[in-house]
A and B are shown apart, each in its own frame.
Chain A
Amino acid sequence: MTASSLKVGVQLRLAAGDFQALLDALASRGYRVMGPTLEDGQMIYGEIGKVADLPVGWTAFQEGGSFRLEPRPDQAFFGFAVGQQSWKQFLWPPHQTLYQVQRQGAGFHVIPGAEAVPKFAFLGVRACELAAMAVQDQVFLQGPHVDPTYKARREQAFIVALNCGHQDPGVCFCASLGTGPRAAAGYDLALTEVLRGQEHFFVVEIGTMRGADLIRELPERIATPEEVDAAARVVAAVAGNMGRGLDTTDIKELFYANYEHPRWDEVAARCLNCGNCTMVCPTCFCHTLEDSLNLTGVAGERQRRLDSCFSVDFSYLHGGSIRTSPKSRYRQWLTHKLATWIDQFGCSGCVGCGRCITWCPVGIDLTEEVRAIRETAAGVRKE
């Protein structure tokens, strides 16, 4: 294929049988390819060296507080929605030593963390996950305090997006937020997996020149209009079949007028305030810093750790915690995620991936909470 024909926006057809060539091309450029894989019967994001590392022929059924892996009747590579883990664990490590200190006379000497920046290629990044990266870009890359760890890892990462084709998106609601199921931007290559009869292929859309350079080596051809259409229909079917929805009309006003809504007490009675929702959320970024000194007091270190607004220590200020009740913590989280986040970062903190629903041990569903508040809301404008 000529170089000039491979531009951003061009769609190509890659046979499933040639998928290994994509993995090999990434590996040959020094990328560590990370993607969905099964380990001990659980779906994680791990190293993908060969096609067989993907959960080929597996699907997942998700509901509030429940995730079940089951075999599929076909050999789909990506026949499921997102699992518990998200890409934030690679872009922003949940536990990191920032620096070490060594006592020197009356002062101390700082030894900065000297971590080599891993060069990741993320394989199978859903539209909601791209949206989550865009949110975290706002948090970590905008404003006066850029996070160097996130920045270095984010700039290196090669992104192979995946337009969602999972036909049972039990807890998903990206369509109602406009964040999916089709990847709109922020990828090098975007795949759509098409299975029909004996045919199994991917339509690959070029998102960047870096993506075009990579795909030049692959045994693909320009996709026919019919193949492009088949791919579009896969995604459209998902969009029309979302398990959940979130009405964001006047959502800031809704929350700001309902700090004292009785629903907060009801959800607090069910909420374990365990923090799982925040840990699995692909946009939650709250963390804590822990300083420690060794027994002799001559060496110490500062560690950064992913934290949660659901723990009482999180809001500890001089003299005590300001959010002592579980109710105040749930309200803080949801109000931040869906309302104050907009004031703070100019976008919603929710991307509709549904992780906080599936991975809440007692299945609390934020879409249901918002609906309940909306139905009996105080002081909402009705026009």
Chain B
Amino acid sequence: MTPKRKPKLSVWKFASCDGCQLSLLDCEDELLTIAGAVDIAYFVEASRAMVKGPYDLTLVDGSITTAHDAEVIQQVRRASKYLVALGTCANSGGIQALRNFKDVNDFINAVYEHPEYIQTLKESTPISAHVKVDFGLNGCPINKHQLLKVISAFLQGRPPMVRSHSVCLDCKVKGNICVMVMGTPCLGPVTHAGCGALCPTYHRGCYGCYGPKETPNTAALAAWFSQRLGMSEPNLVRAFRAFYANAPAFRQESEAHDR
């Protein structure tokens, strides 16, 4: 039996903090196995070797915020057989998508001494707004164990087992007592699982950093925050306008309270 050619992996970064692609380097124990299973062809943060495409598996970190990036992502897509978007930036536009709610020129003028040097788009948009995404792995940052599942599933040629239910299910499996019922507002009931219910495990409300779950009922949760837990309208806007501000469900909910 001739050995199979190892799949070629590429990792690309757009507007992001890098945290998601660092999750790959953070796979300390498994990193050598990954390096053995795939040919790391393009991963600027890890290696100066830059092998041209086509790539079998491409991981994309970051959102599209410049005209240049909007062109590059087209090239990346053309060179990639299977493209995975990593994290909030690549999947919803990231925290930088807060610009989408304002005029970006106001920010540029307030921040930079020479605004004329800055060339940027009006909005920060997810990868899926530009090219076809084969799989989106959510989180801010993503969970490295889930990333390993995605890579492993790709290598086995089957769909990744990444579940889109609420954080609550993970909380209950862990035996956590519900922080919301104990009085702390928590986005867990509308948020996509994957973090292992990190914040509620430490008695904090969920901040929604894995984005909306499937069929999230943000309006009912916001009504309870407001009527029963006394949350003000500005704080409701802040609750839904953070890591996944631009995800449609959260965006719609924050806009409903931003008057």
Contacts and interface: CB of A to CB of B under 8 A. Distances in A.
B6 to A, nearest CB: 12
Contacts of A43: 177
A91 B182 CA distance: 26
Given A44-B177, A326-B215, A359-B178, A272 B37 contact: no
Contacts of B177: 42-44, 83-85
Given A311-B163, A361-B178, A295 B37 contact: yes
A323 to B, nearest CB: 10
Nearest to A84: B177
A291 B149 CA distance: 11
Contacts of B37: 295-296
Interface residues of B, number: 43
Contact of A276 (B149, B168, B213): B168
A296 B189 contact: no
Contact of A275 (B169, B182, B216): B169
Contacts of B91: none
Interface string B149-161: 1011001100001
B181 A313 contact: no
Interface stretch (A112-120, A145-153, A302-310, A367-375): A302-310
Interface string B131-153: 00000000000000000110110
Contacts, number: 134
Contacts of A319: none
Interface stretch (B17-25, B76-84, B102-110, B220-228): B220-228
Contacts of B220: 269-272, 362
A280 interface: yes
A361 B186 contact: yes
Contacts of B223: 362
B151 A274 contact: no
B217 A271 contact: yes
Nearest to A291: B161
Interface in B204-231: 213-217, 219-221, 223-224, 228
Interface in A317-338: 324-326
B100 interface: no
B173 A306 contact: yes
Of A269, A274, A279, most B-chain CB atoms within 10 Å: A274
A272 B172 contact: no
B182 A293 contact: no
A273 B224 contact: no
Contacts of B214: 311-313
Nearest to B33: A295
Given A273-B166, A290-B161, A361-B178, 17 more contacts: A269-B219, A270-B217, A271-B217, A272-B217, A274-B213, A275-B166, A275-B169, A291-B161, A294-B33, A295-B148, A305-B173, A312-B165, A313-B163, A313-B214, A361-B181, A362-B189, A363-B228
Interface of A: 40, 42-44, 65-68, 83-85, 89, 94-95, 269-276, 279-280, 290-297, 305-308, 310-313, 324-326, 358-359, 361-363
Interface of B: 30, 33-34, 36-37, 148-149, 151-152, 155-156, 161, 163-166, 168-169, 172-173, 175, 177-178, 180-183, 186, 188-190, 203, 213-217, 219-221, 223-224, 228
